[in-house]
Structure 1
């Protein structure tokens, strides 16, 4: 296989991984006062949208049924610097969104705002998080801006290119952070080794001096 073909396939694989990692859907169970948190790595200036829906456990049927409107969900989001960028109570089904201003790991936590409905039961939460251009509602944009199908497709491609650029910048940022961490670790290991050497030499010098004084006191030398 030619080198150009290998490079092309590697590039395509990278693009596929980038777009696959931009969204995920799951569901989880929470009990009273329990908090569930997820970590999402996000480049800077990137839109993140989360859609969720709650279902209440029914002990009679052993399944989950749609929850009552009185059940609320508290959403809290912290940036890589552990600053709260979103803390809000939503209804039993809703949508939250935020735009990252710092690249890195964002922590998304969800928990119920009330415990009256639990009675020892569980709540199932369906969560779908979308990042970047996947979080944009292009159909709504097309209707508002009256874009043709071709114009909308061009808009999508431009957003995809912009997102790829952000991902590449974020990867460079991660590489830089990793390099700084490696250099700091190597520097600390070096200084620790030097410190150990100094301590060993000092102890050896003290032992030699102590033994010399001992032999002189015993008139052995």
Structure 2
């Protein structure tokens, strides 16, 4: 294995940091699916993390297939998940989010895709390169966690607003029922005190 010199090391580090990092938010209609792909080489790594932010029971079907069409991972009716793979062959790797189990409700899904280009990690790799790799992995984990927290905050806010709306309309309903009951009681009691005249 040839030694990695400083210009090559710098180019490698820059390509490593700029590689495969995507964040998306998509709306998946009822009875539909959305698919995406990444072109990978042997031993490249890819991780897909996702979170359902709205719609129905906050669940989605997810799967990832290799260039040969075989499933490399599958999640059924999950609200959040993460799937990591190492490419076993060159080619297009496809991942899909499916809302086909729902016939009425659309789903909102936030997902991130990040990966690592394979570099043979032998004794010639400089310590600074290892530190850069660790730093990049740490930054990716922090970014995923922040996006997860944002989605959870949105979900909790929607739940709180829905609860507030239900309490408000329940209070209005109770007030209407109370006024109707009071009106009926007044009318009913008034009938006791009416004097019936004989003609």
Q: TM-score, normalised by structure 1?
A: 0.45
From the two aligned structures, give the one with the greater helix fraction. Answer: 1
